[in-house]
Structures are given as C-alpha cells and as structure tokens.
Amino acid sequence: MNRAYSSAGIAFRLLSIDRVINATWASNGDDSAMRQALRNGTYDELNVYVQSNFQSGTSTPGIPAGSILLGLGTPAVLRSSCITGGSLEGYNTGYILTHETGHWAGLYHTFQGDTCDGDDYGDFVFDTPQQSVQGRDCPSSQDSCPDSGYTYQSPISLTPWSPQGLAGPDPINNYMDYTNEYCSTTFTPAQGLRIFNVIQLLRNGA
C-alpha cells in the first residue's frame, strides 16, 4: 500500500493488531458499536477492520455497503478473504485496502455520479476521465462517456473542482474504480494531490 500512495507523498506505518471474537461484528451486524469499542488513535491514524463474514454491499467482493462515505472518523472495512494472502482470487493482494484507504484519504469512486452529464463534478478530480459505468473484472478497454471531457492542454488550466474531467477512456487502471487487482495499479497526479491536501488540512492535528 505504501507503494501505491508514494506518489502522494504518503506512507503508512503499522502500529498494532488487535484480534476480537464477536460473531455479530464479524457479519457487520452492529458496525457502530464495533467502531466505538475498537477504534484507536486520532483522526490521522487509519483504523482497518477485517471481518470474516459480512455480505458485500456492492458488486465488488470485499467492499461493504457505504464504502464511499467520507469523514474524519471513516475507517477501512474489508472482508478477510480480500486481505493480502486471502482466499478470493483477483482481490487478495492488498488492492481492496488500497481502495478503501482512498476513501479515508478523501477520494471518491472514478464513476461517482454514474453520468456523462456536462455539469456533473464526478469525483472532483480533473485528470480522471468522466465515467458512467463501473469497471468490472479487468476489461481490455472501456469508454462509457466517449463524447465527454476536456482535451488535454499544457499547461493544464483546469482546477480540481471543474465539472467533468479530461477526455478519454474510462480509468479502468485506477485504484478507485471497481476493476480487480490485475487492472487496478495507479492513482492520477491530481488524486495524489487531493490525498495530500485532505490529510494535511483535515486529518493532521484534527
């Protein structure tokens, strides 16, 4: 995960591991109580909860319902079969944790809003092309908004909060799509900037 976040100038250090046996928490039965009981550290310390039996809330294995929710207290929650060395092929080398940590660090899905509308801000990152359909598995290519987006010009005059994004095919290689780990290999420079800014402005000293 440190390799994935190095472009944002961010590194993580493991502080502790706590193991708890609780059948209700393992199935995501009382998420609020679990977090209140187990949470450690301050807002700049990421808590990761690994549960053995929750039902995925999306079409991507290992990601629970509500995974796009952002906030200072937001942890990363994932299924045990999706941790590094887990049993779920295609999702067991750390990608799910990288994705969920992206939400903790202020990133939305690349397909946020599910639309090609010209006034839609999507994921609020200007160098991720607009995307209206979630990526699946590892497609060779995908372009759900072929007529949307801005043509790249140097220097870039767009601000990170401009509607749409750059023109181009869907960013299926982005960690914040729902493609599997064989496709998910990168953050964009503007995503890295957003991560850095969110952590500096909202998490450090919060």
Which positions are catalytic? Answer: 100
Stated as kind and residue range, the H or E segment containing 48 is strand 48-51
Residues in a beta bridge with 76: 48
Secondary structure class of 7 (helix, strand, coil): helix
**CA gyration radius for the chain?**
17
- How many CB atoms are located within 10 Å of the residue 130 CB? 32
- Asked whether the beta carbons of 97 and 64 are under 8 A apart, the reply is no
Count of H helices and E strands in the chain? 5, 2
Cis-peptide into 155, omega within 30 deg: yes
